[in-house]
Structures are given as C-alpha cells and as structure tokens.
A and B are shown apart, each in its own frame.
Chain A
Amino acid sequence: MQPFTYERPADVAAALAAIGKPGAKFLGGGTNLLDLMKVDAETPQHLVDVSRLPLAQISDEEGGLRIGATVTNSDLAGDPRVRERYPVLSRAVLNGASGQLRNQATTGGNLLQRTRCYYFYDPSMPCNKRVPGSGCSALKGYNRIHAVLGASDACIAVHPSDMAVALAVLDAEVEVQSASGQRRIKIADFHRLPEAAPEKDTILGNGELITAVILPPAPPGGQIYRKVRDRASYDFALVSVAAVVETEGDRIRSARIAMGGVAHKPWRAFEAERRLAGAVLSDDAFAAAGEAAVKGAVGRGHNDFKIPLAARTVARALTDAAAQKKA
C-alpha cells in the first residue's frame, strides 16, 4: 500500500474543503477502496474519512425516502419502510456481499465501488481503467465475468453493485454536494459507459461528495430482484435483474427492467419495457421482453453465456413480479 495521510472531518463543509488537497480521496466504509489500495490499484495520497459524517439517517421525503450517504447496506436493507415499500432494493442489498461487509459498506460508497475485473485489480497487467491508454487485458483475455452490453474496445468491465440495479429500476436520484453547491443526478445518468474513457466510472466532478440517495414514491406493482451467480451466497452477479410489473386483469399495465452484471452501469431495458406496456400477460410476452432486453448484446467468448442467461433471467423475474400480490 502506498503511503497516505488521513483526516476525519466532522461535517460536510470540512470534508468538501479537505478533498481539495493533492491526491485526496473520500473514504466511506472502505470495503472496496482499502482493498484496492492493498494491491496498489488505488493510490490516494490523502484520505478524507467521511464514514462518520452525520449522514446516516433514512427519512421520509416527497412521498418517498431520503437515504443518507453513510447509511450502511445493513441498515438500508433492514429499514421497515424499505422492506415494506421497496422490497426490490432490500432484496438487492441483501443479495450482495457478506453480513460483515454489509455492516460496513455505505450507500454512497456502494455506488462508487469499482469493477471487480481481475485485470483492473492486477497492476502488472494493462488496464485502461487503471492506467488510461495502457490497453484492455480482458478483450482477448479471460472475460467470463465481463460486459455484453454497452462495452467499448477500451473496456469491457461491469459495474458490480446489486444495490445500484435496484436503484435504477426505482428511478432513484443521487444528491451530491461540492464547494460550489448541490445538485441531483438521475441514477440512469450517474454511471457512465466506458467509451474511450473507462477510467471515469461516473459523471461526478472533482470534489463532489454524495450526500444522499433519493427514492421517489414506490412504483405500483410487484417487485423482484433475481440474481444468478456461481455460488448460492456471497458472490458477484453473473447476471441480475430488478423487475417491477404492474398488472390489470389479464394485461400488463407497466413494467420496468434493470440488469446487473451485463454492463459498465446498471442497464435499463427501456425497449423491452415499452413492448410490455399494455401487452397481454403471458409467458410469451415475458420471453420476448427477455430477448428484447439483450438486443445488440455482444459476447467476447467466455461470457457468451450471459446473453441467453440474461434473457431468461429477465423473463423469470418479470413472471415472478407479475405473480406477486399487489400491495
């Protein structure tokens, strides 16, 4: 690990002032940043520990919920309002990491975690995300866990978060603050596709701090999070799907689909959603939506299996969401 200096400011204003120091980085729960620092994939010169900022509350806001940035994954998944009104979010968080990690990882940090691409973690290998311009080792390397949608020749990494997939299907917003003010970013716009600059995971500017995630009122209909992984617990998604389906009689009134494990960001399948609106409830409709959700997907060899797997997981999640009792 490279040497660094450390400070733990008491409030947001002090944290925003501290982040201006050379090579400074915010430290939340640290479950990912510290891990990356140990392998020299991250080399901050100064750590601004924001884990004890007074941002650990979940409060009712505008018919939805405001989740403070330092609310831990455990506290988020266990909140009675989240369990009752946003079960897809609670389920997604509970399907990620381990009990110990969820007790430490924060809401803001979860959004900012880096890819688990093994070449990103290995400083002896080229990686455009770690060292811009050095090349992508995964393109012609072992790419079983990599992206099938929205990738570029510069990077085929996937975003590893389960939580962010649920936030995408719920149309959450990310509240950020900097020395120059506050803004809200739609979750769909928050994470980037790799294009020619995979070193940037998000659209956050220098010195911007996530202060909260805002959930709009819960969408009507059944909510499902379905995750497919190599082990039954404590593993990253090969493919995951967050689905919300509202039915009326024998028809689908509306549907929302977000996928994880397939792209550089949580992937909303808007075209598949449009096709489902007003369609007759049927296995065929859900199967077709699954196919539409992976339209344009490109396999890189070892990850070819993800394309049919994603289509089927979408169909299954939609089926289960439609079958749920409506609140």
Chain B
Amino acid sequence: MRNTSVTRRGLFGGGAALGATLQSGSALAQSPPPGAGAPPVDVSLKVNGAQHELRLDPRTTLLDALREHLALTGTKKGCDHGQCGACTVLIDGIRKNSCLNLALSCDDLEITTIEGLGREEALHPVQTAFVEHDGFQCGFCTPGQICSAVGMLAELKRGLPSAVTPELAAAAMEVAETEVRERMSGNICRCAAYPNIVAAILDAAGKA
C-alpha cells in the first residue's frame, strides 16, 4: 500500500494480519504470513479509463487490487469465491467476478467498476432505475448487481440465450422477467430485494 496515513481500512488490514499470526499454529492456517510471498511484480491496470502502475504480490486478485491498492471500494468483497456476485465488474465490457481474476491476468484490459459507470450528477440509466425502484435495502450487493445488470443487458442485446430461453435458435432475445431472474442468478441479495431489482432492470432495459 502506498497510502501510509492511518485509515480505517489500514487499521482493519493490520487487524487481519494480527489475526493470521495468532492462528498460525492451527492446522487451518496454511497460508504463509504476509510478506512471505513470491517477489512482487509490476502490473499495469486500466480502470475506468485511467492507467495505474502497481507493484503487487502475484496472488493479488483484481478485487483486492481495486479495493486495497486503488481505493476503489465500490466493488465489494462478499464471499471471495465467485458465489455471491458482489465483486462483479466489467472487463472489456463483459461482466466477470473480480475475485476470481488475478490482477496480473488483467493488464491491457479495460476494467470498469461501479465508480466508472456514471457520475453523481449523471448516473448510468441502470443506476437511476435502481434508485427509482428502490432496488436495494442494505446496499452491499448493489454495485455488483448494477455492474452485472449492465453486462447482462448487453448480452441480451447481442442475442445470447439463457437457460430459460424457449427458442434457443432465435436471433433476438426477449427482455422478460423470467430471463432477467435467470440471467441475474449470479448476484445474491441477502436482503432479498429481488422484486425491485428485477423491476429496475426491466425499466432500464429500454434506456440502457
């Protein structure tokens, strides 16, 4: 980390490191203590149009690079195993789980996070729709939901089918509730705001 001032995140990071040290005697703590990794390597990441030169442990995921090294904390770490979708970002316009990408694998690619989709005074149409339809409760999954929805609507436009598409060979895909629910199943909302999330996405489908 380049930021040496005391921050909430820095304190949490230190706390996690301490926890790992205390655990190191147990059979479960098989990861080496921080700092014992392979030599750091240079990575060039293009995020929301800006180029960043970073020096990272090869184990750093794109998610951790965004949050811990670029301070882009809109992208959330939920499960860190590709099961919850909270870390969804767009890579070259395609929605992916940033927790399952090594930062090293992402150089030369265009990464878009929730911070790059819209601005406070000019929200992305999907963001506007989530606000209008109250498509969230606690909000933790929301950046992932919105990035996923943006990617998903592009997939619909390209005519990609889903598991519930009745006519697999059809050239154009219908934007229907069943389709949205199936295509968004990789984004979990533990508040279960699903009805409003679906309504927001259906509304945005015409504008996105």
A40 and B105 form a contact (CB under 8 A) = no
Is B73 an interface position by the 8 A CB rule? Answer: no
| Assembly CA distance A98 to B88 (angstroms) | 11
Determine the distance from Cα of A147 to Cα of B59 in the docked complex, in whole angstroms.
34
Task: Give the nearest-CB partner of A82 in chain B.
Answer: B168
For window 10-50 of chain A, which residues contact chain B by CB distance below 8 Å?
27, 29-31, 34-35, 38, 40, 47, 49
Q: Is the CB of B168 within 8 A of A234?
A: no
Interface of chain B, helix or strand or loop or mixed? Answer: loop
A129–B88 Cα distance when bound, in Å, is 31
B181 to chain A: which residues have CB within 8 Å?
233
The distance from the CB of B82 to the nearest CB of chain A, in whole angstroms, is 6
Question: How many Å lie between the Cα of A23 and that of B31 in the bound state?
Answer: 17
Q: State the CA gap A49–B108 with chains docked (Å).
A: 15
Cβ of A196 under 8 Å from chain B: no
Q: How many residues of B contact A (CB 8 A)?
A: 47
Query: Which of A73-81, A240-248, A284-292 forms contacts with chain B?
Result: A73-81
Is the pair B168, A100 in contact by a Cβ cutoff of 8 Å? no
Taking CB atoms, residues of chain A closer than 8 Å to B168 are 83, 87, 90-91
- Asked if A139 CB lies within 8 Å of chain B CBs, one says no
Does the CB pair B94–A49 fall under 8 Å? no
B3 lies within 8 A of chain A by Cβ: no
Q: Which stretch in B16-24, B32-40, B128-136 binds the other chain?
A: B32-40
Residues A5 and B82 in contact, CB atoms below 8 Å apart: no
Chain B residues contacting A3 (CB-CB under 8 Å) are 32, 36-38, 57-59
> Which of A6, A78, A101, A123 makes the CB contact (< 8 A) with B82?
A101
Interface pairs (26), CB distance under 8 Å: A3-B32, A3-B59, A5-B38, A29-B100, A40-B30, A51-B105, A78-B159, A78-B160, A83-B168, A87-B169, A90-B161, A94-B163, A94-B165, A95-B163, A97-B186, A98-B187, A99-B148, A99-B184, A100-B95, A100-B97, A100-B151, A101-B186, A103-B95, A104-B100, A124-B28, A233-B185
Q: A77-B160, A104-B97, A231-B185 provided; 13 other pairs, C-beta below 8 A?
A: A3-B57, A29-B100, A30-B101, A34-B101, A38-B80, A78-B159, A87-B168, A94-B165, A100-B85, A103-B96, A104-B100, A123-B30, A233-B181
